[in-house]
C-alpha cells in the first residue's frame, strides 16, 4: 500500500475504529516500555563496562539484570558461594545488585587480602544494617577504619579482651561453668536440650566480667536469647537496599525495618540501663576499689581525653553492644557443634574423655579448676576444638571488607571500593589445604607435621574462624578460654548419649542462617554420671 493510500485509509476509519485502535495502543504501551527498559538494562549488564574493558578482573558467573548474582547465594550463603567457587575459582567477582563483591575461598588469596594488602582492605562497607543496628557504625566491628576505631578497640582490648585480662576473670568462668554443670546434673538420665543450656553460659559470663553483674535473661523485655537470635538473623541476612538502593523501600513491607527498630530499641534500653547503673554506683565502686569493668573504662574515656580524643555516647554504646553480641552466640554455637560432632563420632568422644580424666583426674575425686585445664597438656581436647572451628566456624563468612584503592591480587585487578567477602567455611574445607576436608578428624592436628602447627590465631590462613589482620576479632583469647574450660568440664563430669532409640547418624547437622551459624535443630542429649573408678 502507498503512503497516500495508507493516509486515505486512516482518514476514512470510523470513530469506533479509532477508539479501538487507541485502546489497543494504551494496553500495549506499558508492556512495550517495560520490554524496552529491560533490553536496555540487559544490554548494559551484558556489555563490558569501562572497568572490565581496561582491567583483568577475576572470573564471574553470568549476572542477571538488576539483581546480579543474588539469586545464586542460596539459603545458606557460605555454601552457595563455596559451590560457585568450585566452578569459577577461589577468587571470583560477583555482583550483588549494584555492589561489586570479591569472594575469597582459598588460604593463599585470604593471605593476600588480610596480610599482604591488609591496609588496603581494612575498611568496612557502609551497609544499612550497620547503620541501623550498630549506632550508625560507632562500634568496633563495623566502624570505618581510622583513628576513632583504633581508639575504641584499644580500650576494649586493654580492659576486657587481652590475654592478661582474660586470666583475671577465671573465677567468674569457674563459677558460671560450675552452675551449668550442676544444672545439667539435675537432668541426669533424662533427655534435655543442651543447646538451650549452652546459650546462657556466655551471656552470664560476659555480663559479669564486662558489666559488673549478671542481668536476668528473662527480665522484662530483656529476653537475651530472643534478642541475640533476632540480632544474629538480621546481621546474617542481606538488606535489599544495600545492593539495589532504589528497592530499599521493600524493607518496610517485608517487616525487616520494623524488626530492626524493635531489636535496636530493646538493646538500646538495656545498654542505657547498664550505663546508668554504673553512673549510680560509680562513687562507691571507686572508693571501695572494686574491680573496674569495661563500662567504667568507657565512662572514663568519655570524660577524659584518651589518646587525644574522648569517646562519644554513641561510641560507648556501640562498644558495649559489640562486647555483648560479638561472642555470646558464637561461643555457644562452637560448644554445640563440638558436642554434636563428638556424639556422631563416639570413638573420638571416648578418646578425649580418657585424656581429660587421666590428666585432670576422675570427676568424683576433686573439683577441676580452670588453671588445671589451661596448664595441662590436653592436646587431643585442643585438637577437637581446632577441628570444630575448621568444620563449623561460627561466622562462616567473615564480616565484609572494602578496598580503599585499586590493587592486584593473584594477577587480577581489583578496583577501588570493591567489597570483599572471605569464606572461612570454604577455606576450612578446601581439599588443597586439608585431606578429607569433610571428615571430622581431630587426629589431623596431632601428626607432628605442618598441619599440626596450624592455629586459629590469625597467623595461619588455612584456619581463620576469627579472621586475620587489623580486622581480626579481638576476642580470640576471651572466647577460647570459655570454650576450652566449658568443654573440658562437660566431657569430664558426664558420660553422654542420645535419647533412647536415636542413633548417631540421626543427629541433624543442618545449619541455621545468622551472624553465627548454629545448629538448625536443638541438640537433645542424655547426661549421666560416670562410673566410679
- Domains, in order of start, for the chain: 130-528 (1.10.630.10)
Residue 16 has pLDDT above 60, yes or no: no
pLDDT at 449: 82
Task: Compute the 3-state secondary structure of the chain and give helix, strand, coil in percent, each to the nearest 5.
Answer: 55, 10, 35
For 223-273, the pLDDT digits (tens) are: 777 888 889 889 888 889 999 999 999 999 999 999 999 999 999 999 999
For 189-201, the pLDDT digits (tens) are: 999 999 999 999 9
pLDDT at 495: 97
Mean pLDDT of the chain: 86
For 351-401, the pLDDT digits (tens) are: 999 999 998 887 766 677 878 787 778 999 999 999 999 999 999 999 999
Distances (CA, A) of 132 to 139, 204, 517: 12, 26, 22
pLDDT at 212: 84
pTM, whole model, 2 decimals?
0.87
pLDDT at 223: 72
Mean pLDDT for 409-416 is 97
Mean pLDDT for 28-52 is 46
Mean pLDDT for 150-156 is 91
Gap between the Cα atoms of 288 and 381, Å rounded: 41
Sign of CA dihedral 41, 47, 52, 57: positive
| Range scoring the smallest mean pLDDT among 36-40, 65-69, 204-208 | 36-40
pLDDT at 218: 53
Gap between the Cα atoms of 524 and 339, Å rounded: 11
**Sheet of strand 401-402, all strands in order from the earlier edge strand to the far edge:** 91-96, 99-104, 419-422, 401-402
Percent of the chain scoring above 70 in pLDDT = 85
Q: Which residues contact 146 (CB under 8 A, 6 or more apart)?
A: none
Distances (CA, A) of 219 to 118, 216, 222, 268, 274: 43, 5, 5, 15, 14
For residues 397 and 235, the answer to whether their CB atoms sit within 8 Å is: no
For residues 128 and 241, the answer to whether their CB atoms sit within 8 Å is: yes
Mean pLDDT for 496-518 is 93
Sign of CA dihedral 318, 319, 324, 325: positive
Q: Which residues contact 98 (CB under 8 A, 6 or more apart)?
A: 68, 243, 244, 245
Q: Which residues of 516-528 are buried (b: 16+ CB within 10 A; e: fewer)?
A: bbbbeeebebbbe
The cell for 129 is 544494617
Gap between the Cα atoms of 214 and 147, Å rounded: 32
Q: How confident is the model at residue 6 (pLDDT cuts 50, 70, 90)?
A: very low
Q: How confident is the model at residue 204 (pLDDT cuts 50, 70, 90)?
A: very high
Gap between the Cα atoms of 66 and 240, Å rounded: 11
pLDDT at 96: 95
Q: Which residues contact 330 (CB under 8 A, 6 or more apart)?
A: 394, 395, 479, 516
pLDDT at 307: 53
Residue 208 has pLDDT above 60, yes or no: yes
| Range scoring the smallest mean pLDDT among 115-129, 268-282, 391-405, 495-509 | 268-282
User: Does 473 belong to an annotated binding site?
Assistant: yes
For residues 61 and 84, the answer to whether their CB atoms sit within 8 Å is: yes
Mean pLDDT for 139-158 is 93
Mean pLDDT for 295-302 is 85
Question: What distance, in Å, lies between the first and last C-alpha atoms of the chain?
Answer: 107
Mean pLDDT for 20-43 is 47
Mean pLDDT for 490-511 is 96
Amino acid at each position: 500500500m502507498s503512503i497516500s493510500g495508507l493516509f486515505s485509509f486512516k482518514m476514512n476509519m470510523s470513530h469506533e475504529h479509532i477508539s479501538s485502535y487507541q485502546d489497543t495502543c494504551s494496553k500495549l504501551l506499558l508492556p512495550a516500555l517495560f520490554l524496552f527498559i529491560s533490553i536496555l538494562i540487559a544490554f548494559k549488564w551484558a556489555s563490558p563496562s569501562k572497568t572490565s574493558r581496561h582491567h583483568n578482573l577475576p572470573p564471574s558467573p553470568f549476572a542477571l539484570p538488576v539483581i546480579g548474582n543474588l539469586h545464586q547465594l542460596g539459603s545458606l550463603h557460605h555454601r552457595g558461594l563455596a559451590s560457585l567457587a568450585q566452578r569459577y575459582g577461589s577468587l571470583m567477582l560477583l555482583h550483588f545488585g549494584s555492589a561489586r563483591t570479591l569472594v575469597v575461598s582459598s588460604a593463599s588469596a585470604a593471605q593476600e587480602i588480610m596480610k599482604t594488602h591488609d591496609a588496603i582492605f581494612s575498611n568496612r562497607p557502609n551497609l544499612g544494617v550497620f547503620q541501623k543496628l550498630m549506632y550508625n557504625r560507632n562500634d568496633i566491628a563495623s566502624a570505618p577504619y581510622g583513628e576513632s576505631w583504633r581508639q575504641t578497640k584499644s580500650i576494649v582490648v586493654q580492659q576486657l579482651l587481652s590475654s592478661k585480662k582474660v586470666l583475671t576473670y577465671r573465677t567468674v568462668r569457674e563459677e558460671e561453668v560450675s552452675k551449668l554443670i550442676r544444672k545439667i546434673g539435675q537432668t541426669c538420665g533424662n533427655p534435655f536440650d543442651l543447646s538451650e543450656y549452652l546459650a546462657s553460659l556466655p551471656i552470664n559470663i560476659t555480663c559479669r566480667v564486662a558489666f559488673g553483674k549478671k542481668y536476668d535473661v528473662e527480665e522484662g523485655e530483656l529476653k537475651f536469647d530472643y534478642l541475640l537470635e533476632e540480632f544474629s538473623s538480621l546481621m546474617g541476612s542481606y538488606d535489599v537496599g544495600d545492593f539495589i538502593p532504589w528497592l530499599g523501600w521493600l524493607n518496610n513491607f517485608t517487616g525487616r525495618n520494623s524488626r530492626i527498630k524493635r531489636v535496636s530499641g530493646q538493646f538500646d534500653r538495656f545498654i542505657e540501663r547498664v550505663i546508668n547503673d554504673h553512673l549510680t554506683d560509680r562513687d562507691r565502686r571507686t572508693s571501695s576499689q572494686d574491680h573496674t569493668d569495661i563500662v567504667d573504662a568507657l565512662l572514663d574515656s568519655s570524660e577524659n581525653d584518651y589518646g587525644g580524643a574522648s569517646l562519644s555516647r554513641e561510641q560507648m554504646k556501640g562498644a558495649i553492644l559489640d562486647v555483648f553480641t560479638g561472642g555470646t552466640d558464637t561461643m555457644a554455637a562452637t560448644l554445640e557443634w563440638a558436642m554434636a560432632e563428638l556424639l556422631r563420632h563416639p570413638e573420638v568422644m571416648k578418646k578425649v574423655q580418657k585424656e581429660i580424666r587421666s590428666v585432670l583426674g576422675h570427676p568424683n575425686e576433686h573439683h577441676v579448676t580452670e588453671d588445671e585445664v589451661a596448664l595441662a597438656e590436653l592436646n587431643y581436647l585442643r585438637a577437637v576444638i581446632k577441628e570444630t572451628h575448621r568444620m563449623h566456624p561460627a561466622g562462616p563468612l567473615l564480616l565484609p571488607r572494602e578496598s580503599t584503592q585499586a590493587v592486584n591480587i593473584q594477577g587480577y585487578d581489583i578496583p577501588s571500593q570493591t567489597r570483599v567477602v572471605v569464606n572461612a567455611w570454604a577455606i576450612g574445607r578446601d581439599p588443597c589445604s586439608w585431606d578429607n576436608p569433610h571428615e571430622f578428624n581431630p587426629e589431623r592436628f596431632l601428626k607432628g607435621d605442618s598441619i599440626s602447627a596450624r592455629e586459629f590465631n590469625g597467623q595461619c590462613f588455612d584456619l581463620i574462624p576469627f579472621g586475620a589482620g587489623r580486622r581480626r576479632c579481638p576476642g580470640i583469647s576471651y572466647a577460647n578460654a570459655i570454650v576450652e574450660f566449658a568443654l573440658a568440664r562437660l566431657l569430664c563430669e558426664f558420660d553422654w548419649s542420645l535419647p533412647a532409640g536415636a542413633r548417631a547418624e540421626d543427629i541433624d547437622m543442618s545449619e541455621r542462617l545468622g551472624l553465627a551459624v548454629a545448629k538448625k535443630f536443638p541438640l537433645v542429649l542424655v547426661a549421666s554420671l560416670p562410673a566410679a573408678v
